[in-house]
Amino acid sequence: MDRILRFINSGLLLLGIAAVVMAAVAGCQWWQQTKINDFVSNQIEETSLSHPHIRFHQAIQAAAAEDRQRARDIYTELGTGKGRGLRASAYYNRGNVNLNYALLLPEANPKRLPLIELAKQDYRIALGMSPSVHDIQYNLALALRQIPEGPLALPDGPKISPVLEEREIETLDFTSELP
């Protein structure tokens, strides 16, 4: 009987310690979430937190305030961080900043082409990390519509795409057995 009581006592002690540890972890998570919520509602200073979600929020605010360089810098920082989904979102949003700014510029502006190319590059990186996200695919298609890739213009003739030309050669012997 004495052994059983000691076993029960030890079990209750371990259960109590586990409960205290779990309460401490939950308290830390609650405190961190409260700080993030306070920041988002602008109740504390921007510089006091460096959590990736807060940095993401800062980048969104910078882009909304048309501080594009600051937004790009924050998205670049987040693109090198941990978490595949957050990195993909950072590249996607950096591409959005570049593409939106390029679309505001007149077509003759020399900054327009590099910005669209940067946007396409960012969308491709984001698509590599999250291939099933349709927003990334759509925005990449928008950027490609602005500056298409594909057929190369030859100075003395029609546009020829090496890939399409190769496909044409490979498919010449194809015969269909349809009725």
Span 20-45, average pLDDT: 80
Q: What's the CATH number for 50-148?
A: 1.25.40.10
Residue 48 has pLDDT above 80, yes or no: no
CB 115 within 8 A of CB 101: yes
SS (H, E, C) 55-111: HHHHHHHHHHCCCHHHHHHHHHHHHCCCCHHHHHHHHHHHHHHHHHHHHHCCCCCCC
Summarize pLDDT for 88-101 with one digit per residue, the tens.
999 999 999 999 99
Whether 106 contacts 94, CB under 8 Å: no
Provide CB contacts within 8 A for 152, sequence distance 6+.
Answer: 159, 160, 161, 162
What would the two tokens of residue 161 be?
Answer: 């795409």
Mean pLDDT across the chain = 80
**Residue 122: is its pLDDT beyond 80?**
yes
pLDDT number for residue 119: 93
Residues in the chain: 179
Task: For residues 128 and 82, give the distance between their C-alpha atoms in angstroms, rounded to a whole number.
Answer: 16
Residue 117: predicted pLDDT: 92
What pTM, to 2 d.p., does this model score?
0.60
- Rounded to 10 degrees, the C-alpha dihedral 62/63/68/73 comes to 60
The structure tokens listed for 113 are 């082409």
Using one digit for the tens of pLDDT, what is the confidence trace for 77-86? 988 888 788 8
Compute the average pLDDT of residues 113-135.
91
The percent of residues in the chain predicted with pLDDT above 70, rounded, is 78
